[in-house]
Structure 1
């Protein structure tokens, strides 16, 4: 009999691909969403798997006992739900608390109501690995041993610092929970940087894009007159991130591990070069900048662990960007 996995935040950009990856491998999926409208959209987007997918409504992931009902009767849990907002104003209520409470809350619910769950995979972020005070850090190689050292005080200094810290505090809270409470399940965390790729979730239009889709859309809609400065020097393809969730759920050796999921270093200049070459009709809307400019001296991200332990293969930047732009153009119509 097929196993059932609970996937939180199922209407999100990454989660839609995670749901698809599990359904494609024959799992039954129960997705959590915040509203009836989102529930209907998720079921519609995955209509070809109608017999394998169901939806549970969890209006507020940070509320006490939010996941108590949702976790009952599943064999595994994939926790993707966490706010990705880079322009928050109330850092505590918009970012820090939902990220931390959502993570510890679901672990508590599993321990209380479902002893059958043996593996929980949590979508963390390169934000919890990177030291944001070090900038480009030429020559440094980030690995899973690195942790973002941000304090609560630093987290409250800006929206971006608050987001980076929210991912760090939530991931640490997950490992601390397992260490202190000793539940039946093990936890594996995935730490992707900027995540790009085709859109698979329901979006009403280009004015309702998620953060990373909007990040690329601005490069094809004429709103950016110059190539933007690159903030994070590594990216992941959303389909590779989704596959990594399945592998981290299935592989026994992933227990208690964290994995950097990153395709390669990149710059906005490289993205603009790809768009201008592959979509000549967008050349008047995509900034030209310094075509072919090499990457500056920057940090590197070592993904050896994900490649060797999970067996993941990463897509090249061009495939990711071409597929993402095609999906944005389709949405624009």
Structure 2
């Protein structure tokens, strides 16, 4: 009989129903890890487990965590037998409209982050490293005060006084949550170290557990809307973000950041390349000619990519983590393909 391959470790993955988390989960399982995901309900947890490849389903389970902003929300989740070796924290709200900026965004992001770190320090002393999903929002300045080039050395210039302005609440939540994490490492000196992944707009294939296209991650909405013909009367403006990264590259970065020794203590700004909605439309029309009637006439589609756009340096993830960025063409093609395969979400089969 072949020898049983030893697992490289046990991982707690928070925010298990999220787009990025679903791909991180696949990547962890593909690399032999044992994974426990957090979900807000039993139904959602079961859906996550049922959505993974049946061949590795025995290596994943779930634990219920309700309101992540509550004190001690993760106390029981971080306790496991056998104990955890690593934690990947992706759970954080993404929305742009708030009834209450603190309740709906700032508290879950900031208190959820410091709360899980405190729980790990107290109840999970075997954890060696924590990887947190941050965002390019914690890196990029508020327009028009852009720098010529951005990398993980930069921090967004949003202030706490601006945090309750809905125009700035999300980026403030990402900046101050990540700042709080690094401050925790400095002041509390836990047994584990930290790495953060600061990804920009993230495209890529649909997660298998997705139950509605309305629940698709915001970055992918533009691709979804083109495929559904919602931009037939005109391609929507691209602004404010013209940079993208493929979700599979982001997932791999999370997994590599767990185990590459040099990753500890580092931020990783992840950008694959520039894009525009017009460029995405061009790719879809080329790769999927059967969708031509979903678009406006070609002569009416103009790129809105600004000539004076700032630049980026995202080479650190390639250098330290060995990530090779997926092209826009492949990312868009694979994303559309994953949509067309989901007849249950598309309202029937799209003729090819």
Corresponding residue to 1:325 among 321, 330, 336: 336
Corresponding residue to 2:195 among 169, 172, 188: 188
Instruction: Tell me the equivalent position of 1:13.
Output: 19
- Secondary structure of residue in 2 paired with 1:242: helix
Residue 325 of structure 1: CA displacement?
1.1
Instruction: Tell me the equivalent position of 1:125.
Output: 135
Q: What aligned pairs does 1:42-121 form with structure 2 within 5 A after superposition?
A: 42-46=48-52, 47-72=54-79, 73-121=83-131
Structure 2 distance, partners of 1:122, 1:67, is 15
Corresponding residue to 2:248 among 222, 230, 239: 239
- Secondary structure of residue in 1 paired with 2:182: helix
Residue 291 of structure 1: CA displacement?
5.4
- Secondary structure of residue in 1 paired with 2:197: strand
Structure 2 distance, partners of 1:9, 1:130, is 24
Are the counterparts in 2 of residues 221 and 286 from structure 1 also a CA contact under 8 Å?
no
Corresponding residue to 1:279 among 288, 304, 307: 288
Which structure is larger by alpha-carbon Rg, 1 or 2?
2
The CA deviation string for residues 123-169 of structure 1, in whole angstroms up to 9 with x for no partner, is: 0000000002226x4x81101111011112322222x4211111111
Structure 2 distance, partners of 1:314, 1:17, is 15
The CA deviation string for residues 198-230 of structure 1, in whole angstroms up to 9 with x for no partner, is: 012422222333322323211222222222222
Instruction: Tell me the equivalent position of 1:4.
Output: 10
Distance verdict in 2 for CA 1:186–1:164, change over 3 Å: same
Corresponding residue to 2:226 among 211, 214, 219: 219
- Secondary structure of residue in 2 paired with 1:184: coil
- Secondary structure of residue in 2 paired with 1:195: strand
Corresponding residue to 2:205 among 183, 198, 204: 198
Residue 54 of structure 1: CA displacement?
0.9
Structure 1 distance, partners of 2:259, 2:316, is 16
Residue 62 of structure 1: CA displacement?
1.1
Question: Are residues 1:146 and 2:154 paired?
Answer: yes
- TM-score by length of structure 1 reads 0.94
Are the counterparts in 1 of residues 93 and 104 from structure 2 also a CA contact under 8 Å?
yes
Instruction: Tell me the equivalent position of 2:170.
Output: 163
Q: For this pair of structures, how many residues does the alignment match?
A: 330
- Secondary structure of residue in 2 paired with 1:218: helix
Structure 1 distance, partners of 2:132, 2:305, is 34
Runs of 4+ in 1 over 6 A off after TM superposition: none
- TM-score by length of structure 2 reads 0.89
Distance verdict in 2 for CA 1:95–1:293, change over 3 Å: closer
Structure 1 distance, partners of 2:213, 2:143, is 33
Are the counterparts in 2 of residues 4 and 75 from structure 1 also a CA contact under 8 Å?
yes
Structure 2 distance, partners of 1:307, 1:301, is 14
Are the counterparts in 1 of residues 222 and 277 from structure 2 also a CA contact under 8 Å?
no
The CA deviation string for residues 11-57 of structure 1, in whole angstroms up to 9 with x for no partner, is: 11110100010110111001001111111101101133122111011
Instruction: Tell me the equivalent position of 2:324.
Output: 313
Between 119-128 and 266-275, report the one with greater CA deviation: 266-275
